[in-house]
Chains A and B, each alone.
Chain A
Amino acid sequence: MTNLTRRSFNRYLLASAAGAAAFGGLTVPAFADSRLRFMWWGNPTRDERTNAVVDLFEGNNSGIVVDTEALASNDYWPKIATQAAGGNMPDVMQMDYRFLFEYARRGQIVPLDDYVGNQIDLSNFDPGFVDSGRVDGQLFGIPFGANSPSVIYNMAKFAEYGVTLPDHSWTWDEFWDFARQIKAVAPEGQWAVADKAAWEPAFDIFLRQQGKQLYTEQGELGYTAADAAEYFEMWRQAREEGLVPPADITAQDSDGLDTRPISRRRVAIDFAHSNHLGGLQGQNPDELGITLFPHREGGVPGQYMKCATLLCITANSDAKDDAAKLVNYLLTDPEANKILRMERGVPGDNAIAATLLEDPDDIERKTIEYFAIVQDNVSPMPPPPPAGAGEVEVMMVRLYGELIFDRLTPEEAGERLVNDAQAILDRA
């Protein structure tokens, strides 16, 4: 016996449960024609808006009841995985781009190509943008909002320091020069730029600006140890000059928006996904701005747009048609999107994005203006990451930690990055 199918695995477990079965057998009866479960991760604002839209949907579609569940992302993924193991996933789930490939290639979510044009209307979407939900040619997720890595800055600090942000066509040299201006006037305990070297999109953009990339179409590493060392060296110099904060502040910047150096008011410039502008602003009493990554002198554009989150329909759903209706409603209904707005990123439906432009709030206006600039400096979407890419991302953070705590030189770190990444890809 080398392979247990899921069913026999379950049956084996069931045998041990036979005794317990005598005690129970309580199930929740479902009386509606169709009962959908819809799960997402988020925050109180997102939960409130999404629930309101789901209520509207139920009102418009009598006979369909939607049970919603909202969790924090740390809790969302273990629960989804556990449910997947039991074949009990929600019908509709919010998906993160980094897990799209894992779930699609393992058959847990279904291709949506057949629903497009029927239940799901993507006529107002940019085809290129829709393609970011494709895995091996099939459409497994529909992008819920557009997103791009960006530079976020504190406008009040700039005014306080008396510095003016250069044009968004800045080069890395101009970027660091600007950082030096800030450093010269910043008080003790404050620095110019957050040390986001370990943030994978930053490294990716740096590589793409010189025509390289994280992973090739074939799923192999698209850079060398020397490329990584050059990148690490750039940041090491910044640290040596005191342009970026010392190691402990960078190490604390783990995950949450509240631990970001810009939120802790340690720096004037940070890097983040554009859809986090609102979240970061919520942490900060000063007004924040958003602009492009610096580019490489004589290089090519490195920045790209990608989807923030996607909507997927799971393989174990027994009401996929109704699930598709819900997906369509969330993505394309004007009423629904008046409530959802841009909380998950800029809507992919251009008609909807246009209506939101009529009365944007501050964050929405900045984001849309920013997107207009990105559009002109955009490079194509990166190819789909190979299995294990998520782990490489985590490993790089750890490795960079060893660098900033002076346990590795940039050269050694470059070497280690390539070796360890390769080992992870080989094992996956």
Chain B
Amino acid sequence: MTTLAEHAGIDPYREARARSKALKQRRHAVRAVIKHIVLILSSIGMLYPLMWLVASSFKPDTAIFSDFSLIPQAFSFENYVNGWTALRTSFTTFFTNSFIIAALAVVGNLMACSLTAFAFARLDFPLKKLWFTLMLATLMIPYHVTLIPQYILFLNIGWVNTILPLVVPKFLATDAFFVFLMVQFFRGIPRELDEAARMDGCGPWRIYWRIMLPLSVPVMATAAIFSFMWTYDDFLGPLIYLNDINQYTVPLALRTFVDSSGVSAWGQLFAMSTLSLLPVFFFFLFFQRLIIRGVATSAMKR
């Protein structure tokens, strides 16, 4: 016995299939919506404290700790205007100093650490394991106990009160974090690529320059972000090595706003803190694009 549907030449499963397809699509849409809701909710969770910081920067000092709302009752730029010039030197100088030091650190770290990482990841040489272990070990000493010997060292070279102690080490790959990071990524790049290049007569320098670096844009961008941010944020180094307020960096200047023994200018502190976040934020936005774009290049090369 044939069904009516069959008789009419209708595919009996078509409707069901269509229904299931629609269902799948709907499920897909639902899942996307749920994903967005989760992302948005968690974004708010992530952001609440920051929004509070920004909101407080527009409030007068007396309202900061009594008025918890995120929307200030009176909106005022006073903290920004006064904060910018509250210290003997204006924040123009502090921002300039911070940028110079952070930019040099990025350049130094990318150059020196990638060279070192290339050696550890790709080249063979005697005592390699020993050096690698020692390099990792330098990460494990709390910096508070090497601070004084290091200070004495830089004092004797005559570098105290200059930015050299903050910058020169970066050109000497002293930050093992970045070396290790790059080693891990370099090792992820298939060896066939450099073996093929070696067949073509490329030496290690050209392999480093022509193959490794172009294929490592994501990790280099990552390293650039962290170098910039951590140098920009660092305050202990500048505190110890810089004496002249004209050489102060932003975090160092921010710390002088609040003192436990006196009147604290919270509003100005928050205003300047907010401003100090902007450069790192934009630096991040720009370089994270490179992390994404880097992939396209390496995928193509593959």
Contacts and interface: CB of A to CB of B under 8 A. Distances in A.
A88 interface: yes
Interface residues of A, number: 54
Interface in B253-271: 255-266
Interface stretch (A70-78, A160-168, A346-354): A70-78
A257 B61 CA distance: 14
B256 A71 contact: yes
Contacts of B87: 44, 47
Interface string B91-132: 000000000000000000000000000000000000000000
Given A27-B162, A85-B148, 7 more contacts: A20-B168, A44-B257, A44-B265, A46-B262, A79-B240, A85-B151, A86-B148
A26 B243 CA distance: 15
Nearest to B245: A69
Contact of A79 (B159, B239, B245): B239
Interface in B129-167: 147-149, 151-153, 155-162, 164
B43 interface: no
A199 interface: no
A41 interface: yes
A23 interface: yes
A256 B157 contact: no
A24 B158 contact: yes
B260 A256 contact: yes
B255 A71 contact: yes
A278 interface: yes
Contacts of A37: 243
A25 B168 CA distance: 12
B171 to A, nearest CB: 9
Contacts of B65: 258, 264
Q: How large is the interface on B (under 10, 10 to 19, 20 to 34, 35 or more residues)?
A: 35 or more
A23 B167 CA distance: 12
13 contacts: A13-B153, A20-B168, A23-B168, A27-B158, A28-B161, A41-B259, A43-B258, A48-B88, A71-B239, A78-B239, A81-B148, A256-B258, A283-B263
Contacts of B151: 82-83, 85-86
A24 B156 CA distance: 11
Contact of A21 (B88, B152, B155, B157): B157
A43 B261 contact: yes
B261 A285 contact: no
A17 B244 CA distance: 24
Contacts of A27: 158, 162
Interface string A23-44: 1111110000000010001111
Contacts of A14: 153, 156
A130 to B, nearest CB: 23
B262 A45 contact: yes
Nearest to A285: B62
A227 to B, nearest CB: 29
B296 interface: no
Contacts of A71: 239, 255-256
Contacts of B243: 37, 67, 69
A236 interface: no
A53 to B, nearest CB: 13
Contact of B153 (A16, A28, A48, A256): A16
B86 interface: yes
Given A24-B164, A69-B245, A279-B262, A47 B256 contact: yes
Contacts of A44: 86-87, 256-257, 263, 265
B260 A10 contact: no
Interface string B256-295: 1111111111100000000000000000000000000000
B263 A43 contact: yes
Contact of A75 (B156, B162, B239): B239
